């Protein structure tokens, strides 16, 4: 007897139940699609592993491990914790990390931040929370703090911007979040030059006493994949914010964020989101104070 149609039917029902439960927990999260295949299937949970391999020269290698196992799970029931625990264990058992287990490999799972029922199983299986996708509604204009002058980045700013983006990346590397890669600054320089030429991107520079002290980079609503992760639309995305250490706690960050929000509102955005590292002690209080709330947490497990 062919069991596949029956398994597919169970997976479809589980996905519907999963989405119903998630909508109750956090209506800002977009419904999850039915998975095209499953590697572990129970009556209350299904899971799948997507393996991704990147060369060190690939752009994606700047943002994570060269070999990634991305877990996708749908879980249902009033107490999903045991079924979730089992499916995570089953998926991990299928991963053959090879003899050089520690070398540039990671297992990741992105899960609704407010679903606390699934936190303990992830911790038990050795996952740590790595990044948070935080979201803010853009209903009201921000109070514009004084002190810093904010303007659009010019071609002349490119070298300075590349230096700052490099410092930010190295800072995230020091926190164990982003990898170091060959020719890092040159690659960030190229990325920033492309962003400056892209009509969907913006870069703002803040100055005090004429010298630049910080920048913010973002993109207006443009149908990017990240916008599909939440139900609020149109949504913008902020990708970088860095303030010179000597200029911090003087509302420069706040001025840049307020100016970025204004640009996004001008492009019709009703929400804005960004990823920040949960290892970064400056980020969580700053973004919470700016009105951003946790939505999706990316958990990561490294091999030792």
Ligand X SMILES: CC(C)(COP(=O)(O)OP(=O)(O)OC[C@H]1O[C@@H](n2cnc3c(N)ncnc32)[C@H](O)[C@@H]1OP(=O)(O)O)[C@@H](O)C(=O)NCCC(=O)NCCS
Binding mask 111-150 for ligand X (x = CB under 6 A): ----------------------------------------
Q: Which stretch binds ligand X (CB under 6 A): 39-47, 64-72, 284-292, 296-304?
A: 284-292
Per-residue exposure over 182-207, b if at least 16 CB sit within 10 Å of its own CB, e if not? eebeebbbebbeebbeeeebbbbbbe
Q: Which residue is nearest to ligand X (CB)?
A: 253
Rounded to whole angstroms, the Cα distance separating 203 from 215 reads: 7
Rounded to whole angstroms, the Cα distance separating 105 from 65 reads: 5
Task: Take residue 144 and report the two structure tokens written for it.
Answer: 């514009």
Residue from 18, 254, 261, 301 touching ligand X (CB under 6 A): that is: 254
Phi-psi region of 237 (alpha: psi -120 to 50; beta: other; left: phi over 0): beta
253 part of the interface to ligand X, by CB under 6 A: yes
Distance of closest approach, residue 289 Cβ to ligand X, in angstroms: 4
259 part of the interface to ligand X, by CB under 6 A: no
- CB-based contacts of 27, cutoff 8 Å, min separation 6: 231
300 and 130 Cβ atoms separated by less than 8 Å = yes
Cα angle 289, 294, 297; round to 5 = 140
251 part of the interface to ligand X, by CB under 6 A: yes
217 part of the interface to ligand X, by CB under 6 A: no
Task: Take residue 3 and report the two structure tokens written for it.
Answer: 């069991």
Task: Take residue 188 and report the two structure tokens written for it.
Answer: 């960030």
91 part of the interface to ligand X, by CB under 6 A: no
273 and 135 Cβ atoms separated by less than 8 Å = yes
289 part of the interface to ligand X, by CB under 6 A: yes
**Hey, which residues between 231 and 250 contact ligand X (CB under 6 A)?**
241-243, 248-250
Rounded to whole angstroms, the Cα distance separating 142 from 139 reads: 9
Rounded to whole angstroms, the Cα distance separating 54 from 63 reads: 11
Distance of closest approach, residue 295 Cβ to ligand X, in angstroms: 15
Q: Which stretch binds ligand X (CB under 6 A): 54-62, 92-100, 121-129, 275-283?
A: 275-283
Residue from 276, 278, 299, 301 touching ligand X (CB under 6 A): that is: 276
Binding mask 162-181 for ligand X (x = CB under 6 A): ------x--x----------
Binding positions for ligand X, rule: CB under 6 A: 168, 171, 241-243, 248-254, 276, 280, 282-283, 285-286, 289
């Amino acid at each position: 007897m062919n069991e596949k149609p029956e398994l597919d039917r169970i997976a479809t029902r589980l996905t519907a139940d999963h989405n119903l439960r998630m909508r109750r927990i956090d209506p800002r999260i977009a419904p999850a699609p039915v998975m095209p295949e499953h590697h572990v299937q129970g009556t209350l949970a299904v899971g799948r592993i997507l393996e991704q391999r990147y060369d060190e020269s690939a752009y994606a290698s700047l943002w994570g491990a060269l070999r990634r196992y991305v877990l996708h799970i749908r879980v249902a029931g009033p107490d999903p914790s045991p079924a979730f625990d089992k499916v995570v264990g089953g998926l991990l058992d299928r991963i053959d990390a090879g003899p050089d287990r520690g070398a540039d490999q990671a297992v990741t799972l992105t899960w609704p931040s407010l679903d606390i029922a699934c936190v303990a199983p992830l911790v038990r299986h050795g996952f740590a929370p790595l990044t948070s996708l935080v979201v803010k509604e853009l209903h009201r204009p921000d109070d514009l703090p004084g002190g810093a002058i904010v303007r659009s980045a010019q071609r002349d700013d490119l070298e300075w911007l590349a230096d700052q983006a490099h410092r930010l990346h190295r800072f995230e590397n020091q926190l164990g979040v982003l990898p170091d890669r060959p020719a890092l600054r040159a690659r960030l320089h190229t990325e920033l030059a492309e962003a400056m030429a892209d009509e969907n991107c913006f870069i703002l520079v803040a100055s005090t006493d004429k010298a630049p002290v910080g920048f913010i980079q973002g993109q207006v609503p443009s149908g990017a994949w990240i916008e599909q992760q939440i139900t609020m639309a149109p949504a913008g995305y902020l990708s970088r914010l860095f303030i010179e250490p000597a200029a911090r706690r003087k509302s420069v960050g706040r001025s840049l964020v307020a100016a970025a929000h204004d640009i996004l509102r001008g492009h019709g955005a009703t929400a804005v989101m960004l990823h920040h590292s949960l290892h970064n002690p400056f980020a969580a209080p700053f973004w919470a104070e700016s009105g951003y709330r946790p939505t999706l947490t990316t958990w990561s497990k490294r091999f030792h």
